[in-house]
Structure formats: C-alpha cells, structure tokens
Amino acid sequence: MRANSEQLLAKLGRWSSGRGPLYLLLAVRLRALIDDGELPPDTVLPPDRVLARWLAVGRGTVVAAYDLLQQEGKVVRRQGSGTRVCGADPPALRNLAGDGVVNPLLLHLLAPPDGVILLTCAAPDSPPPVLIEAYQEAAARLARVRHDIGYHPAGHPVLRESLASYYRARGVPTTAGEILVTNGAQQALALLAKLLVSPGDTVLTEAPTYPGALEAFRDAAALFRTAGDAEEFCAALADRPVLGYAVPTGQNPTGGVMPALTRRRLARLAVDHGVPIVEDEVPAELCFSGEPPPPLASYGTSGQLITVGSLSKLVWGGLRVGWIRAAPPLISRLTRLRAIYDLGGDVLAQLASAWLLSRVGELRRDRVEVLRRRHDHLRAELLRELPTWTAEPALGGQTIWVRLPHGDADAFAQVALRHGVAVAPGRSFDPSGGHGDRLRLPFLFSEETLTESVARLASAWRDYDGARRPHTLRALLV
C-alpha cells in the first residue's frame, strides 16, 4: 500500500509547529502515525524528494527524518524499494538485517519464544518469598484504611515517608515532599523526559548505558551526546546539555561503580553549569562491596541533582513501584504531569514496598550474596567454554559487558537465537551506534541455567566463527 499524498498531508497536520529541528519534528509526527496505526505496516512512504516538495522543505530534512525512524526500527529503507513502514511484527521483535538497532529491553517481552533462554532482560525471574510476606503485611494494613479514595498521584503518604527515611539513612536530608512514587523506574524516566526535554534538546548519556532510558529520551525527540567514561561525562557538562543521565552504581550494562571523588566532582559541575543530572539508582543496592555509595544528591542541596530508583532489581520486576527524589518544585510539576496519565499507583503494592524498605539491608545482603556467586560462575564458564571472549568483572549490578574477539555482535545474536539463547548486542546500549563488538550478559539465573546458556553460546560461536578448532588464546579475565 502506498501513502496517498492528500491523506498523508492531512494526517501530518501542523507537524512543524513545535520546538526543535524540522527533521526531528517530522520524525516525531511520522512515528506517532506509525505507532497509532494511521500508517499501517508495509505502507510505502513517499520518496525523499517527493515528500520534501509536498512539505516545502529541503530534501535533507526528509532524509534525516527517515534515517532516524530507520534507526528506531519504525521504517525500512532499501535501495530500489524506497521507504516502507515496518511489518506487522513489533520492530523490537525482529532483526532488521542491519537496518536498525534492536532494543534488548523490549526484545521478546511481547512474544517470548519457546525453548529459548532469555538473556536479554536483566531482571529477577521469579518473585522471592519475602514479597509474599510483604503483601500479607500490606493487606492487613489496607484492611484498616478508612476515608481514603485510593488516588495518590504523588504516591501513598506511607511510602513517600518511608522513602524519605531511606534517603536520610543514606546521608541525604529528604522530606516526603521531595518524593514522587511512580509505576516503576521506567515511568519515572518517561515523566522526566516528557517534562524536561523538548525536540532537538541534547541529552548527555554514558556510552554504553541503559537502553530503556534511551527509549524515553528518543520518545521526547532528543539528540544525544555520549561520553565513554566519567571524565568525558564531566567535561561535556561545560557544553550545557539540557539533561545528563548516568548510572554510577552497578552501571547497566558494565557493572561499574563510580569512585567517590568522581561523584563529588560530577555533582559540583552539574551545579556550576546548571545541568540537571538524573542519577539512575535502580541497580545501586546490588553493590558487591556492601552498602551502596551515597547518591549524587548527598554532595549538595541543589535542585540539579535528581535520583530515580525502584525495587525491580532488588526484589522483582513485577513489583511496579519506582520513585523520583528531587526538589519540591520539580516534584510538584512531575506530579501534575503524572496525574494526566495516571491518577496514582497500586496502593497495596506501595504499602508492600514500604514494608520491604524497612528491611532493605537484609534484602540487599541476601540478594548480593546470590548474585556474586552467580557472577563468578558465569565468568568461570565463559573462561572454560569461550576463552577468546573478554569479560571484565562487575563491581555490582546484574550484568557483565563482554567483548567478542572479532565479528559483529548483532549478527552473532541472530545465530545465538537459532541455538536457543537470546542475547543483547552492544549497539542497543549506545545511542551513537558504537560497541558493535559487545554483548551484555546477565548473571541472574541459577548456576545450571548459566552453564547451559554458555554452552549454547559456545555452540553458536563455533557456528558463527566457522573455525571448528580448539581456541588457543585465553580471555582477559581480570
């Protein structure tokens, strides 16, 4: 089906009336039409020059918009066949033969394949027994509730105060008014992106970084500036991006932990340059050295330092409770925005989360003990089965960052899928498209499952590498 000129122009409407570069505004509007089904799968879009003439813009504007949509997996562009809306399968579920980057956060969540070990989403694969106890305690508390309609856009007061106490115990003076409870950290990131980022704004991120955050910023039509390490990140603040996003503890995907002196410098520079920093602390409680380092907000009282957290990694992803800690004026604005989309979260889940927070030390100790053991097991299996792969140890979090000795991680991921194991290739973690020789591997599963996963990866590597001979090199496992 080919897009009709009059109908397409009518659907585009006043696409250029927003703020930001024209190509971004055009891409945002076309993305919305695709997501809403107004441009159905397999629709052939007008050629670059034709659409540019219809819209009275330069051809480069259309080319850049189409290229951005291709990177997001919304369209496919091929020489000779033009630009076409991706097929009926969700783009995140399909490899686009090099035409787009697959998002590992979404990969296989919508349609899990049978018989495949999913190493694509780093989250606990079953609820712990303590969660059942938390809900029992919450249900007993709920039974005593009176005169409460249950709508709390900023979060239930009990949980807001519990979170304020949690941060005070970590050396960050906090009141309940500085807390917004959300339905998971992903909603927290989406709200921050919606409020603070306009089309064409530059967001500074680490490379690699958490792909769910990248999706939230892409949805806001942000441009990205990436930093390969903490020094680059700090230096880039001088250019005053609209926002910085970092995961200093248990970094996703590398498992790194930012040193205290670097944290202090980052917090100071954020204040000096007036750049808000969103610190993602979702994996922070999984620090292998014990208690997590203080958040960036502990190094100052400035409203530039924003903290996002949740219990999804420490407890279970099905517990959809997250939060934002920020200055009260920002919390008020975020609460008004949140109320537009969602009048409040699950009260029972929030009461259960408050109970869990009172036992966070015990939860951390038990969880980290398991994760450290599985981390060591995974690295030992990689050394034994895939000695040419490089995998530095994590200092926290749930994943290790693996380098292939040669080849392309996206192509290898497709071979691995045929061998019954799904892995997340490195380009999905880098908005600039780098790290094509990397994989993220979680160490969340049982030792038996990890052993089987590595065996399947080794089989896939032999198939991909085409060299069916013993490897002679040893991996750099330091």
As a whole number, mean pLDDT of residues 143-168 equals 94
As a whole number, mean pLDDT of residues 170-199 equals 95
114 and 78 within one domain: no
- For 250-280, the DSSP string reads S-TTT--B--HHHHHHHHHHHHHHT--EEEE
Domain assignment present for 478: no
Domain assignment present for 98: no
Domain assignment present for 21: yes
Burial environment of residue 455 by CB neighbours within 10 A (0 to 12, 13 to 18, 19 or more): middle
pLDDT (tens digit, 9 = 90+) per residue, 86-138? 865 444 344 433 333 445 455 555 556 668 898 988 777 788 999 999 999 99
Domain assignment present for 352: yes
**Whats the size of the chain, residue-wise?**
478
- Residue 59 is part of a domain; what is its CATH number? 1.10.10.10
pTM of the predicted model as reported, rounded to 2 decimal places: 0.82
Please state, in angstroms and rounded to a whole number, the distance separating the CA atoms of residues 449 and 447.
5
143 and 27 within one domain: no
pLDDT: is 431 or 471 the higher one?
A: 431
- Residue 393 is part of a domain; what is its CATH number? 3.90.1150.10
Reported as a pLDDT band with limits 50, 70 and 90, residue 476 is very low
Q: Which of 111, 95, 87, 89 is nearest to 424 (CA)?
A: 95
75 and 213 within one domain: no
Give the end of a domain, one of 331, 360, 389. 360
Say whether pLDDT at 467 is over 60: no
282 and 339 within one domain: yes
As a whole number, mean pLDDT of residues 327-342 equals 95
Locate tokens 């409203």: which residue?
303
pLDDT (tens digit, 9 = 90+) per residue, 240-280? 999 999 999 999 999 999 999 999 999 999 999 999 999 99
pLDDT (tens digit, 9 = 90+) per residue, 408-452? 998 999 899 899 999 999 999 998 889 999 999 999 999 999 999
Contact of 179 with 164, CB cutoff 8 Å: yes
Give the end of a domain, one of 360, 394, 427. 360
- Start-to-end Cα distance in the chain: 55
Please state, in angstroms and rounded to a whole number, the distance separating the CA atoms of residues 123 and 360.
18
81 and 226 within one domain: no
149 and 254 within one domain: yes
370 and 356 within one domain: no
Domain assignment present for 440: yes
216 and 342 within one domain: yes
- The phi and psi torsions of 234 (rounded to 5 degrees) equal -60, -45
112 and 62 within one domain: no
Lowest mean pLDDT among 72-76, 255-259, 456-460: 72-76
Say whether pLDDT at 474 is over 50: no
In this prediction, residue 458 carries a pLDDT of 97
As a whole number, mean pLDDT of residues 132-159 equals 93
415 and 336 within one domain: no
Domain assignment present for 22: yes
Give the end of a domain, one of 334, 360, 386. 360
Burial environment of residue 280 by CB neighbours within 10 A (0 to 12, 13 to 18, 19 or more): buried
Domain assignment present for 458: yes
Tokens representing residue 252 in the block: 């996703």
* Domain coverage including residue 406: 104-127+363-463
Please state, in angstroms and rounded to a whole number, the distance separating the CA atoms of residues 110 and 121.
12
Domain assignment present for 471: no
Q: Which of 38, 95, 92, 99 is nearest to 67 (CA)?
A: 99
pLDDT: is 54 or 301 the higher one?
A: 54
177 and 218 within one domain: yes
In this prediction, residue 436 carries a pLDDT of 93
276 and 181 within one domain: yes
In this prediction, residue 108 carries a pLDDT of 55
Lowest mean pLDDT among 2-6, 75-79, 227-231: 2-6
Domains held by the chain: number: 3
Tokens representing residue 163 in the block: 């979170």
Please state, in angstroms and rounded to a whole number, the distance separating the CA atoms of residues 383 and 218.
37
Contact of 370 with 405, CB cutoff 8 Å: no
Please state, in angstroms and rounded to a whole number, the distance separating the CA atoms of residues 450 and 460.
15
pLDDT (tens digit, 9 = 90+) per residue, 371-417? 999 999 999 999 999 999 999 999 999 999 999 999 999 899 989 98
The number of beta carbons lying within 10 Å of the beta carbon of residue 220 is: 23
Reported as a pLDDT band with limits 50, 70 and 90, residue 225 is very high
pLDDT (tens digit, 9 = 90+) per residue, 15-32? 888 777 888 889 888 988
In this prediction, residue 175 carries a pLDDT of 97
